[in-house]
Amino acid sequence: MAHLVTDLEDHTPQISEAVVADLRSRLRATRWVDAPDGLGWDAGTDVAYLRDLVAYWADGFDFAGHQARLSALPSRRATIDGTRVHLLHAPATPRPGDAPPLPLLLAHGWPDSAWRYRKVVPLLTDPGDPAAPDGAGRRTFDLVVPDMPGFGFSELPSGPAPDNRTVAALWAELMTALGYDRFLVAGGDMGSHVARFLALDFPDRVIAVHRTDAGLPLFTGDPASLTPQERDWLEESVRWRTTEGGYAAVQATKPQSLAVGLTDSPAGLAAWVVEKLRSWSDCGGDLESVYTRDEVLALLTEHWAAANVGSGVRAYRANAAIPREQLARYVDVPSGFSVFAGDVVRPPRAWLDRVANTVYATEPPRGGHFAPFEQPESYAHELRSFFGRF
């Protein structure tokens, strides 16, 4: 089904003073849960840490400064099938003699938005190292970084949250509206699946696809056909689902019950998101070794101001309904994987070859699930190294 894209225009996201005043009032009135001694982060977000973060959010975070940074972003807005979608659109600034820039769509996941890629925008639109092998360091990209419907500053969808395959189709039409017939795509988390479906459903348009993960494994064949590394990977993924996957089970089955609390309580929202930032990042348990408080609170403030956290968690329910045969399709488009050492579950090369036409696979030593934000220089290097050959 074709998707209609209209009203493409420059747009600056705004967070009103009334929203900020209400947020501060709610933060100061937080009703705190009890926290037994020694519990720490073992059962979820550490309450002592959260109290401190909430106090700073209410009385230390620079909301005006955050609005100024939002206003400086290359933001645009398009209406797709009646829903207004926010995107960053940053054309490249190559030097004379450089290769023409390539259009590149960056697809985010949960619990984030285009926030995931803000640090790499200037790195990928400006020329890199001119001495890099094969000129890859001089490759620049015309970046398109959209917020999925119901994420970031995109409007809530009028109906159910779209699944990853539907989002891929929306982004294909968006790229057409922007004038890009053929393009590159990269993603992580849900964005990895969006990127995958773009490559699967629009192979004549996607030049190459880069992913920072391969999702959790789906395998229904004979285990004897797997390599030992793949069998270990499947077992590790089962253990991860058991110890860390409770959030996904809730969001895929009863998201609305959860969404009520996250939409009403900024402290509850912070607890749900911060725990994932800490446990999924390469931070050794010290969240603020990777993110400043202001960076974390920028994401939380945007979630709160848009009041769209319900749509974000409902996306898991939508994706759980994607037929298994769609999840098992092999990606023929040339694929690259950068599996960062600190990510949550890391597939072996044999699995990457099993699921995609993998022509590039690396394991950068630093960085986790949010690698573009955690290690932007390394992530930009990975994209240049892979995409520079196309």
Q: What percent of the chain has pLDDT over 70?
A: 97
Residue 158: pLDDT band (50, 70, 90) is: confident
State pLDDT tens for residues 272-301. 999 999 999 999 999 999 999 999 999 999
pLDDT per residue as tens digits for the range 39-53: 899 999 999 999 999
* Residue 221: per-residue pLDDT: 82
- pLDDT tens, 178-234? 999 999 999 999 999 999 999 999 999 999 999 999 988 888 888 889 999 999 999
Neighbouring CB atoms inside 10 A of 270's CB total 24
Domain boundaries, the chain: 5-13+45-387
What sign results for the dihedral spanned by CA atoms 335, 374, 14, 306? Answer: positive
Counting beta carbons within 10 angstroms of the beta carbon of residue 51, is it exposed (0 to 12), middle (13 to 18) or buried (19 or more)? middle
Tell me the average pLDDT across 119-134.
77
| Contacts with 260 (C-beta within 8 Å, 6 or more apart), sequence order | 310
SS3 18: helix
Q: Mean pLDDT over all residues of the chain?
A: 93
- Can you state the angle between helices 309-320 and 255-264, rounded to 10 degrees? 170
Tell me if 281 sits within 8 A of 38, measured CB to CB.
no
| DSSP per residue, 208-229 | EEEES---S----S-GGGS-HH
Statement: residue 320 has pLDDT above 60: yes
At residue 283, what are phi and psi to the nearest 5 degrees?
Answer: -125, 0
Task: Average the pLDDT over 120-138 and give the result.
Answer: 72
Q: With beta carbons less than 8 A apart as the criterion, state whether 82 and 76 touch.
A: no
| Amino acid at position 179, single letter | G
Residue 161: name the closest of 33, 327, 316, 378 by CA: 316
Please, what is the angle between helix 47-59 and helix 17-28, to 10°?
140
Q: State the DSSP string of 71-121.
A: HTS-EEEEEETTEEEEEEEE---PPTTSPPPEEEEEE--TT--GGGGGGGH
The CATH code of the domain at 5-13+45-387 is 3.40.50.1820
Indicate the pairing of strand 83-90 with strand 141-146: antiparallel
> Coil, helix or strand for 332?
strand
Is the pLDDT confidence value at 78 over 70? yes
